[in-house]
Amino acid sequence: MVLSLNKQKEKEWKIIIKEQAKLNGWKFNGWFAYKAIENFFYEITFYTSAYNNSINGSVGFKPLIIDERFWEIVDLNDNKRMPLSFRANGAFVISSKNVYDYNITVIPETLKADVNILLNKINQKVAELSSEITDIEKFINYIEQHPSKKSKWSDIDLLIMSFIVQKKYNKALSLVNVAKKNRGMCSWDFDDKDFYDLAIEYCQEKRSVANP
């Protein structure tokens, strides 16, 4: 009985979170909100727990070109026609750079106000990022200056793709080789090859064209 009441409460909370996120300029899909600002994709995840009256999640971002170039490398160009939300929950996308984690305790009676306080903090963070990180070079600098505390491989995948976007194929190859040596297989398999194998082929081909 308690479990079903908690589930009902969480369902009601998600409706409020969705409404307030939309009022704050975000689109909503499932457990996350998202938007594009200039050439970057931003996303917020929301996980609710009525058991201890909490909402937790994270904020992430990445250049839009990252996924587009990734899809070219792995021959999934049709993904470019998918809705914007696909960049957050698609099976074959590069994970966003995590920039902010939150875990707040809410008062059910003032949930809307608590959610708005959270969204105001997130919007301020996003506004700062969108004004400071305006191109791929600044994005690379941000990753290097703010290494992930959860998974360095997410950072490396983003850096590999960022260097490829910049046509710095030697730098990208160097990181791919480090990843293959220390990580082995990556998160995406395509028949008998994975993303790292395809990235190597792509970089070598582009490099040979640029330097015949």
17 band by pLDDT with thresholds 50, 70 and 90? very high
> Which pLDDT tens digit goes with each residue over 70-116?
999 999 999 999 999 999 998 899 999 999 999 999 988 899 999 99
The structural domains of the chain, with segments of one domain joined by +, span 2-134, 149-212
210 band by pLDDT with thresholds 50, 70 and 90? low
Q: Identify which has the larger pLDDT, 2 or 161.
A: 161
Residue among 178, 157, 167 at smallest CA distance from 208: 167
Cα separation, 27 vs 60, in Å, equals: 15
Average pLDDT over residues 191-205: 89
- Provide, rounded to the nearest whole percent, the portion of the chain with pLDDT above 70: 94
